[in-house]
Amino acid sequence: MAGVDKFGVIFSVAFVAAMIIIMATVLQTDSSFTPSTDSTPTQTYSPPPTQTYSPPPTPQAAPQTSSSDNLKYTIRGGIVDSVSPDENHNAVKIMMDSRLDGQLTITLTSDSVTPFDDGTYFVTVDGEEVEFTQVGKRLTIDFMANSQKIMIYGEGYKSGGHDMNSMGHSDDSKEHEAMMAADKAAADKAAADKAAADKAAAAAAKAAAAAAKAPMALTIEPVAGSGAPGCEPECYSPSTATISAGGTVTFTNTDTAPHTSTSGSAANGPDGVFDTSLIMMNASFDVTLSDAGTYPYFCMVHPWMEGTVIVE
Ligand SMILES: [Cu+2]
């Protein structure tokens, strides 16, 4: 019942206000009006000529809504708390209290928000765009129960004079700023993406370099039959091997003949860096090389056997 009482009070206020206006204009002296608590809550604006439900706003209703700040409207399903210009948004703001699904019909004036170029407006109810019916400047807007705010957006505002144009431009520049900000964000993101890509590429290159880095250990063996000439220049396998500094080369003899791997060359003899001495079949000898460089070697037994170890 509290809700009904509240409505009743509001009806009373609206009623009395309407009557005062009527009395002022029509010089009626009847002061016996009492608020009708029987009005249904769906009909906020009760019968007085100030607000009618007849779709076409009749001329006789005009005097009661002649105020330039007071747009003419009718509503059912709720009550209007206020109708005010929202010049910052080139809109008319209607604050309302609705308990039921309802409908607001409002007639905009040349003093209120002006329509977009195509003569239409953009309407939201509680921030959601809604469909509406427009006949001339009269808009009929359906709303759901408990809706609180209807906004009617247009191109501009005439009531504010030329300030409204700059207001419009202000919005444009805000949009522009937003676009600039968006562009900058996109550019920043692109830069960040590129940086990330570069970083990934660098990491990949580093990984590739690491993968390409010479091993710390490898095995070299004489090819089968190298005990007789004819295997050159690849009598060792691999004949040129690369290891990392500090790495170890394991010379393994998989051939039937004994061989050596002796640093130096057949032509100039051993240089004294390393010498496996004679390695018998299935035996091996490890050589660790700490210093980067290119180390040629040969087989003391079979001088046609020559190879190279590269230390990186
Ligand atoms: Cu040999």
Query: For 210-264, how does the pLDDT look when each residue is reduced to its tens digit (9 = 90+)?
Result: 667 889 999 999 999 999 999 999 999 999 999 999 999 999 999 999 999 999 9
Q: Classify residue 25: in a domain, yes or no.
A: no
Q: How far is the CA of 299 from the centre of ligand 1 (A)?
A: 5
> Cis peptide before 115, with omega less than 30 degrees from 0?
no
Q: How many domains does the chain have?
A: 2
Give me the chain's average pLDDT, please.
Answer: 78
Q: How far is the CA of 274 from the centre of ligand 1 (A)?
A: 16
Overall residue count recorded for the chain in this entry = 312
Q: Classify residue 221: in a domain, yes or no.
A: yes
Q: Classify residue 14: in a domain, yes or no.
A: no
Express as a percent the part of the chain with pLDDT over 70.
Answer: 67
Band of pLDDT at residue 188, cut at 50, 70 and 90? confident
Last residue of a domain, one of 134, 151, 166: 166
Report the sign of the C-alpha dihedral through residues 103, 109, 115, 118, in that order.
positive
Q: How far is the CA of 286 from the centre of ligand 1 (A)?
A: 17
Last residue of a domain, one of 129, 149, 166: 166
More confident residue, 104 or 1: 104
152 and 234: one domain? no
Q: How far is the CA of 302 from the centre of ligand 1 (A)?
A: 4
**H-helix or E-strand spanning residue 214:** none
Report the pLDDT averaged over residues 123-148.
92
224 and 152: one domain? no
Predicted local confidence at residue 251, as pLDDT: 97
Q: Classify residue 192: in a domain, yes or no.
A: no
Closest CA to 14 of 55, 68, 75, 57: 75
More confident residue, 82 or 58: 82
More confident residue, 138 or 53: 138
267 and 150: one domain? no
Domain that holds residue 281: 217-311
Q: How far is the CA of 242 from the centre of ligand 1 (A)?
A: 21
142 and 223: one domain? no
Check: CB of residue 283 under 8 Å from CB of residue 253: yes
Q: How far is the CA of 263 from the centre of ligand 1 (A)?
A: 13
Q: What is the DSSP letter of 173?
A: H
Q: Which of 10-14, 74-78, 81-85, 297-301 has the least mean pLDDT?
A: 10-14
Q: How far is the CA of 304 from the centre of ligand 1 (A)?
A: 8
Q: Which tokens sit at 116? A: 């977009």
Local structure of 159: helix, strand or coil: coil
Q: How far is the CA of 231 from the centre of ligand 1 (A)?
A: 11
Predicted local confidence at residue 240, as pLDDT: 95
Band of pLDDT at residue 96, cut at 50, 70 and 90? very high
117 and 229: one domain? no
Q: Classify residue 22: in a domain, yes or no.
A: no
Q: How far is the CA of 228 from the centre of ligand 1 (A)?
A: 8
Local structure of 233: helix, strand or coil: coil
- Report the CATH number at residue 292: 2.60.40.420
48 and 130: one domain? yes
Last residue of a domain, one of 150, 166, 182: 166
- Report the CATH number at residue 96: 2.60.40
Q: How far is the CA of 303 from the centre of ligand 1 (A)?
A: 7
Where is mean pLDDT largest: 6-10, 98-102, 106-110, 284-288? 284-288
Q: Classify residue 195: in a domain, yes or no.
A: no
Report the sign of the C-alpha dihedral through residues 199, 203, 204, 206, in that order.
positive
Closest CA to 231 of 304, 134, 133, 150: 304
Q: How far is the CA of 219 from the centre of ligand 1 (A)?
A: 16
Q: How far is the CA of 264 from the centre of ligand 1 (A)?
A: 14
Q: How far is the CA of 305 from the centre of ligand 1 (A)?
A: 6
